[in-house]
A and B are shown apart, each in its own frame.
Chain A
């Protein structure tokens, strides 16, 4: 993964100036996504995952702003683009899916109209062509009787169907990358699997890369090629799926993986990480995780670790520092 990466985020820093202080929601985050690749971004609420996604398409809620870093998409830098050019990238080259399908769709317009509007924005077409394309998309995401349901309103669909419509809307412009922010969280468990399947299939068929943001590791395990684990606005660990799940490096990731009940294997007590993720205005010095880490030592409290390679993964943890002097101080 190098110059060929579709999306490259370098040292991204997002700040939210509030009344009392300047909160840092994303602190020096760097990662890449290759063409057609699925990167899972996992972490607790408040870890900065959604903000990172919002930063990429330039839709951070004010007063938040990108304070430092670069975002490079298909070789072109996009974080400093003027508004109009960024708008043309949105939808057409980078699609987005949000969490709650009920609130993502305008309740006053039929889904057909919303689809046609989006299709027309991204390419000149006659209304008839646009309508045909919309019905095609609806069929692709698995909406039964798409021609009839074209004129229906969002509230006439069930939650799962609505999310399929949302996926269809995100795919209107044939984007190269989709940022899916908690696409299944608001859905029933039984529907979640269906939606993930739809997403997977479509992205494979169209060769679309996906940045899949979620706090549900199960979803990641099914879908992602690579995984990034975020904690307190920073990346704790990043690597291929199998490595991160089977052989987690960072103690936080270890804790995460250990807290997932497994259907196979012996029933033991679920591991639990003591304490909670620090709030944005209370991030400790040094490694953000050290107060909760059983293996913390002096260096962890003093210095903030960068991502250190260990095999195919990278972990932001001093345990993996090359110099032996860093271990168990």
Chain B
């Protein structure tokens, strides 16, 4: 009974919240910044391209039946020898570069987002625990964090990847490659979230309402989630956007190095790696176009992150 009445109320509250969001300082600042809007548009376009790849791509690059070596190494459409069948050219196996980019973006985006979500959940969780429980747990977690922070993410990611490679049996390696990547990259980025959340948690923990809640018998952790989390979401979101760009780059780098996503399900990084071999023979498009796509994606994420950081910075208001 409570359910039925609750739903329209929830919907009403959601609508009201959305309306407030649109009217808020944040949305206002967004509407004013042409750069942020352009970046958001580009990012949306790439995401849409990735999500709707099966419908948008002129060819299915992974359907071995439709791929023929006769079409290999075609230049892009506007150069002599190219055709609009393969608008951005074809690679050494005859796959359409445009299609591979669309499908490749999928993997790049998926791994990027998922790893950041993992990092966020891990980091926020550990930060809450560390800040709330304090004591030895806090010390240990923070030590680990410090040590990890002195190494760049790529190294950590490589390490975890290497370890997983040693643990996962040969046969499963290709199919699990994406998940291993998500784990590696996620594990290399949790620290910043943890530190930020820990700081806020420690501040909240000292406040009286937490002690009052203890007296009443409500679990303080539940209350802290409701109070700390909103305070912390701003900085966490900013960190997430910056890290998203880094995560995408990290995945691309790992794939480029040959320890990421395999060529059977290539991400943008893998595509660049494949294309690299053909630079000197003159078929530059195989590597440049995926590279361009990658740069556009990361650039728009960075721009959005910059805008978000400025918009949420109280001192710049």
Contacts and interface: CB of A to CB of B under 8 A. Distances in A.
Q: A and B: real partners?
A: yes
Interface of A: 18-19
A19 B29 CA distance: 9
Contacts of A18: 317
Contacts of A19: 25, 28-29, 32, 317
Contacts of B28: 19
A18 B29 CA distance: 12
Contacts of B32: 19
6 contacts: A18-B317, A19-B25, A19-B28, A19-B29, A19-B32, A19-B317
Nearest to B32: A19
A19 B28 CA distance: 9
A192 B25 CA distance: 41
A73 B158 CA distance: 68
A19 B311 CA distance: 11
Nearest to B317: A19
A18 B32 CA distance: 13
6 closest A-B pairs by CB: A19-B317, A19-B29, A19-B28, A18-B317, A19-B25, A19-B32
A134 B211 CA distance: 54
A18 B28 CA distance: 13
Contacts of B317: 18-19
A144 B317 CA distance: 44
A64 to B, nearest CB: 14
A113 B272 CA distance: 57
Interface string B11-32: 0000000000000010011001
A153 B28 CA distance: 46
Nearest to B29: A19
B34 to A, nearest CB: 15
A20 to B, nearest CB: 8
A19 B31 CA distance: 12
Nearest to A20: B28
A209 B283 CA distance: 79
A206 to B, nearest CB: 38
A19 B33 CA distance: 12
A154 to B, nearest CB: 24
B143 to A, nearest CB: 29
A291 to B, nearest CB: 27
Nearest to B316: A19
A173 B39 CA distance: 53
Interface string B128-169: 000000000000000000000000000000000000000000
Nearest to B28: A19
Nearest to A18: B317
Interface string B237-262: 00000000000000000000000000
A19 B32 CA distance: 10
A166 B174 CA distance: 69
A93 B317 CA distance: 34
A161 to B, nearest CB: 30
Contacts of B25: 19
A157 to B, nearest CB: 29
Interface in B210-243: none
B127 to A, nearest CB: 30
B33 to A, nearest CB: 11
